[in-house]
């Protein structure tokens, strides 16, 4: 029997326009971002990972800003021809 490939549940979120829109809203508030990350870190298995992730992304901030890619790209809706 062939094994079915498991789909990564994170990848669809990266392409989900509603998820992107909500992230853009959340990023307007340091408090809300902090609350979400703190809530995730309350889980013992996730705490070290969240801490490392925050450090890694914080270190990238200046590079991301310098490259001008610190904002989410606009959602592009494709025009469907009939």
pLDDT (tens digit, 9 = 90+) per residue, 11-70?
A: 677 778 888 888 888 889 999 999 999 999 999 899 999 999 999 999 998 899 999 988
The pTM of the full predicted model, rounded to 2 decimals, is 0.61
According to the model, what pLDDT value does residue 81 have? 72
The per-residue pLDDT for 34 is 92
Residue 75 to residue 19: CA distance in whole angstroms: 11
- Output the pLDDT for position 69: 87
Gap between the terminal Cα atoms of the chain: 42
């Amino acid at each position: 029997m062939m094994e079915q490939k498991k789909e990564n549940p994170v990848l669809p979120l990266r392409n989900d326009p509603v998820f992107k829109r909500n992230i853009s809203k959340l990023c307007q508030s340091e408090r809300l971002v902090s609350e979400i990350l703190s809530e995730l870190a309350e889980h013992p298995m996730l705490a070290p990972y969240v801490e490392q992730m925050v450090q890694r992304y914080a270190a990238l901030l200046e590079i991301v800003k310098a490259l001008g890619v610190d904002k989410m790209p606009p959602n592009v809706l494709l025009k469907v021809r009939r």
